[in-house]
Amino acid sequence: MEALFIFIAKSSGLIILFFIAYHFLLRKETFFNSNRWFLLAGLITSVVLPFLVYTKVVWINPAPALNINYTQLNSQNIGSEFLEINWNLVIIAVYSIGFIGFLIKFGIDFYSLNSIIKGKKIQQQADFKFIDVKENIAPFSYFDYIVYNSSMYTASELESILEHEKVHSDQNHTVDVLVSRVFCMLFWFNPIMWFYKKAIVQNLEFIADKEAAQKISDKKAYQYTLLKITTHESCVAITNHFYQSLIKKRIIMLNKNQSKKSSSWKYCTVLPALVVFVLLFQVEVIAKEKKGTTIEVSKKESKSVEVFKINKTTTDHDLKIIAEKLKLNHNVDFTISELKRNSQNEIIAIKVHAKRGSEQVQEYEVLGDKGIKDCGIMITTADDGSKKISLVANNQVGDSSDKAHKVEIIKVQNSKTNTDVNINSNTSTKTNCTVSTATNTVINTNVDEKTNTKVVIKGKANSTLKIYGDPLYIVDGVVIGNVSKDDSKLIDPNNIKSVTVLKSNAETLVKYGEEGANGVIIIETKD
């Protein structure tokens, strides 16, 4: 629905652009045939150009996480429950009523035309079909049909009229009229379109007058014939002013000197405006992460997000309500295990399981001796109705493909050994580190001298990753948080791809906030 509105708005804007260029630059020029194709090109461009989209790819560095404003999300969910007027349907209904009305009028005009031509005697001459009627109507042409009432004009007047209508028929001016009429039905709400149609019809008359006058010896007699047609009693009063105004312009243009060829530059003035239109509205930016993940930046897709938040003060009753809502509204199986509380009845340990249908199990675990930070489940619903489960931890969003990561953080042994460490991070330096000598050698080790953060991967099979310090931990883009030495989590070192240590500096403060004040450790697993 939104795409339709955007298309109509763009097409209307292009029609206005071409009409302004014609009205202010080309209307008084005698390039009648060129003006004809310019006006038709404006209609075709207004339909074709909105479909031509240039895609621009911008490569960006992958962001580790995305901040979520829970207050804003909750307020959006509450507001969406109230009944709202669907303005899209209202606009579509109004547009449809207008379109159907003008379509009916179009059909009535065809019926009236058919009733005039049907059953009449046709005189075939070359490529033209002449129909001499008895009705008191002004002469007209429709494709190769030329209709007139010979009893209303003298022989010389009839000759001028037929030459004029032959030009219309020979150059297929009926096509221009029908195309402009169709556009008036489609863009009936745009007043400029009606002026555009009038400009097309008027320019066609200029073409026919110019061609016919060249074939007639008495140019003044031709002009008197035009006046006689407009002042004939068959003209309806409500249209007299229009035709008199048109005839005045036709006579002026008929006697006007030919425009200089140097004035043809005016046709090019519309090109810069079209370039600006393309750059502003027809360039779609696609942001791609350097790892290959594509994120569409354009405004075509909208999503609704619902977050079920858990914090240290959440009661057992609240957890039960969350589980019921997830199952009822989103068919998500939500369970809580290993729930522990301290003496203040604050949650200090929790293990969350969430699964929807055949999707991968989402699991999040927090262990400690203090109240947990905010966490929970986020349900993202796309326009097509598809749903996606994501984990929310420490005001960060984990993608639904994220797996649970367990990191054990313990104090190292007192035994020391001088080990030459291979530094993988550009922000670290080579130095000695304190390690446990219980098993095998040290691998993939990063040391940050400024924050005194030491990351040691020890041993091979069934070994553990041992860390001490209180920096911010990020595992596969999921923020674990500032973990103290006494917290305990576990990760399989065989599954670790790389470990990066960022020093505490202005850049980490800006990027990660206060949680990154003591440095940041980024762990990437093989998954």
In this model, does residue 117 exceed pLDDT 50? yes
Q: Give the tens place of pLDDT for each residue, 220-279.
A: 888 888 877 765 545 433 333 344 557 788 888 988 889 999 999 999 999 999 999 999
Q: At 295, is the pLDDT very low, low, confident or very high (cuts 50, 70, 90)?
A: very low
- CA separation for the pair 497, 525 (Å, rounded): 5
122-125, strands of its sheet edge to edge: 122-125, 128-132, 145-148, 140-142
**Contact predicate 424/500, CB 8 Å:** yes
Model confidence pTM above 0.75:
no
pLDDT at site 192: 96
Q: Under DSSP, is residue 336 helix (H, G, I), strand (E, B) or coil?
A: strand
Q: Cβ-count burial of 173 within 10 angstroms (0-12 exposed, 13-18 middle, 19+ buried)?
A: buried
Q: Which amino acid is at 322?
A: I
Question: Alpha-carbon Rg of the chain, whole angstroms?
Answer: 39
Q: Under DSSP, is residue 526 helix (H, G, I), strand (E, B) or coil?
A: coil
Q: At 35, is the pLDDT very low, low, confident or very high (cuts 50, 70, 90)?
A: very high
In this model, does residue 184 exceed pLDDT 90? yes
* Bridge partners of residue 501, in order along the sequence: 521
Q: Under DSSP, is residue 408 helix (H, G, I), strand (E, B) or coil?
A: coil
- CA separation for the pair 456, 468 (Å, rounded): 9
Q: What is the DSSP string of 294-311?
A: EEE-STT---EEEEEEE-
Q: In terms of pLDDT, which residue wins out, 487 or 17?
A: 17
Q: Which residues contact 159 (CB under 8 A, 6 or more apart)?
A: 216
Q: Where are the domains of the chain?
A: 304-398, 405-527
**Contact predicate 311/374, CB 8 Å:** yes
pLDDT at site 412: 30
Which residue matches tokens 């505490």?
A: 504
Q: Give the tens place of pLDDT for each residue, 437-485.
A: 333 333 334 444 443 334 433 333 333 333 334 778 888 877 776 655 4
**Contact predicate 473/407, CB 8 Å:** yes
- CA separation for the pair 132, 123 (Å, rounded): 9
